C-alpha cells in the first residue's frame, strides 16, 4: 500500500476499507488514526508510534494531504466505522479482545456486538481504567493466554497508542485505538447526520454541537493554509 510522509508522519493511502483491513491483517500491525490535528501537533513519541505502524487517514485533512502528494484514490477511513468493518469481515475467522470505556459502556457494547454479529468470538474484555502496574501486568498476561487475533482499545489518544505498543511487544495481533467509538456504537454519543459525513463536514457539525471546539478548529485553519502553500 502506498504511503506518504506528511510533516514527519508516515500516512498510508488506502483506496477502500478492504484494502486497509487486508494490509493490517497480513502485517499484524497497529492501526492508528491520523487527522489534521495529529499531523500538525504530534510529539516525537506519537510520531514514532505512528511511523512504526499503520497510520491511516481518519480525517479529511489527512486525505487531502495524501491526494496533494499524488495518492488520488485515497479515501477517508473513519475509525468508528473501521473496527466494525473488521469484525464484519472476520467474525467467522478471527478472535477479538476489547479494552476501554466504563464497565457499563463495555458491557452494553459487548451485548450489542453479540446481537449484531452472531458468529463473533470474544475471548475477553475489560474497562479502560488501568490504575496500577499490577492491573497492566494482569492484562498483558491475559492477552498472552487468550491470544486474540484482533484487539480494540478505546482509551483516547495517546494513552491507547502507548498501551497498544506495549501489548504488541508481548503478543502479536492487529490492534486498533478507538477513542470514543464504543459510546458512538451504543448510541450514547450521536455521530453527525449522514449528510455531514458524506460531505466531509463532520467537523462543522461537532463545532455547532460543541462551540468550545472552536479553539481546536483554529489549528485546522493553519493546517489547510500550510497544505495549500506546500509546507507539508
Task: Write the pLDDT tens digit of every residue in 154-165.
Answer: 998 889 999 999
Using one digit for the tens of pLDDT, what is the confidence trace for 68-119?
999 999 999 999 999 999 999 999 999 999 999 999 999 999 999 999 999 9
Verify that 27 and 8 share a domain, yes or no: yes
Confidence band (pLDDT; 50, 70, 90) for 208? low
- Whether residues 223 and 146 fall in one domain: no
Q: What is the pLDDT of residues 127-181, one digit of tens each?
A: 999 999 999 999 999 999 999 999 999 998 889 999 999 999 999 999 999 999 9
Which residue carries 499490577 as its cell?
134
Q: Is residue 223 part of a domain?
A: yes
* Cα 188 to Cα 169: distance, rounded to the nearest angstrom: 33
| C-alpha cell belonging to residue 164 | 497498544
- Domain of residue 85: give its range: 79-189
Whole-number Å distance between alpha carbons of 195 and 132: 43
63 and 113 together in one domain:
no
* pTM > 0.85: yes or no: yes
Could you tell me if 43 and 68 lie in one domain? yes
Same domain, 92 and 167: yes
Q: What is the per-residue pLDDT for 3? A: 95
Counted domains in the chain: 2
What CA–CA distance (Å, rounded) separates 96 from 198?
A: 30
Q: Are residues 20 and 67 in the same domain?
A: yes
What CATH number corresponds to the domain at position 139?
A: 3.40.50.10660
The pLDDT of residue 41 is 86
Amino acid at each position: 500500500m502506498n504511503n506518504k510522509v506528511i510533516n514527519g508522519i508516515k500516512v498510508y493511502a488506502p483506496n477502500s476499507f478492504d484494502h486497509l483491513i487486508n494490509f493490517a491483517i497480513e502485517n499484524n500491525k497497529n492501526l492508528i488514526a491520523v487527522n489534521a490535528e495529529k499531523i500538525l501537533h504530534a510529539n516525537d513519541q506519537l510520531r514514532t508510534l505512528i511511523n512504526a505502524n499503520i497510520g491511516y487517514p481518519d480525517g479529511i485533512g489527512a486525505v487531502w494531504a495524501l491526494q496533494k502528494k499524488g495518492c488520488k484514490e485515497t479515501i477517508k477511513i473513519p475509525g468508528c466505522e473501521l473496527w466494525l468493518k473488521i469484525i464484519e469481515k472476520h467474525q467467522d475467522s478471527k478472535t477479538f479482545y476489547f479494552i476501554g470505556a466504563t464497565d457499563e459502556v463495555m458491557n452494553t457494547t459487548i451485548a450489542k456486538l453479540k446481537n449484531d454479529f452472531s458468529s463473533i468470538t470474544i475471548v475477553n474484555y475489560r474497562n479502560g481504567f488501568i490504575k496500577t502496574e499490577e492491573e497492566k501486568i494482569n492484562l498483558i498476561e491475559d492477552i498472552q493466554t487468550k491470544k486474540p487475533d484482533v484487539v480494540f482499545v478505546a482509551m483516547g489518544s495517546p494513552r491507547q497508542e502507548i498501551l497498544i505498543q506495549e501489548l504488541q511487544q508481548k503478543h502479536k495481533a492487529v490492534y486498533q485505538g478507538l477513542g470514543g467509538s464504543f459510546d458512538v456504537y451504543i448510541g450514547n454519543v450521536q455521530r453527525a447526520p449522514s449528510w455531514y459525513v458524506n460531505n466531509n463536514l463532520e467537523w462543522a457539525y461537532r463545532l455547532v454541537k460543541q462551540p468550545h471546539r472552536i479553539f481546536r478548529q483554529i489549528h485546522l485553519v493553519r493546517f489547510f493554509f500550510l497544505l495549500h502553500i506546500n509546507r507539508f
